[in-house]
Structure 1
């Protein structure tokens, strides 16, 4: 993971629910992104399973391939 804080551009630390910036003390939610087209994925949850769907034509995406980016809006 080599994401930078969208506010101060320092390195973000991954947390189970998102990202944290140690420098500016902000938390960011994790947004699933398609590894092929770079667009946001829809999260499908059913029967304890989480699947990811790309509405831009790439279909279902394996959770092993999903890339997580910080949301710009702080938590």
Structure 2
């Protein structure tokens, strides 16, 4: 992931469906997109796990394949 903080432009680390900037301490909401159809994914959270589901026919998407963008 090569997203940067919109405030200080330092790299973000992925934390579930959010980006975290270690430099300024902000958590930034990210939008998860399907790598196949590039449509927004539904975020499923349960028991500390975060999963992603494509409602456009691609089913569950591994978090390693999810495309994250700033909304």
TM range (shorter): 0.5 to 0.7
Aligned residues: 61
Higher strand proportion (structure 1 or 2): 1
Runs of 4+ in 1 over 6 A off after TM superposition: none
TM-score, L = length of structure 2: 0.64
- The CA distance in 2 between the partners of 1:70 and 1:19, in whole Å, is 12
Which structure is higher in RCO with an 8 Å CA cutoff and minimum separation 6? 1
- RMSD over aligned Cα, in angstroms? 2.6
TM-score, L = length of structure 1: 0.61
Structure 1, gaps ≥5 residues long: 5-10, 21-26
**Greater gyration radius:** 1
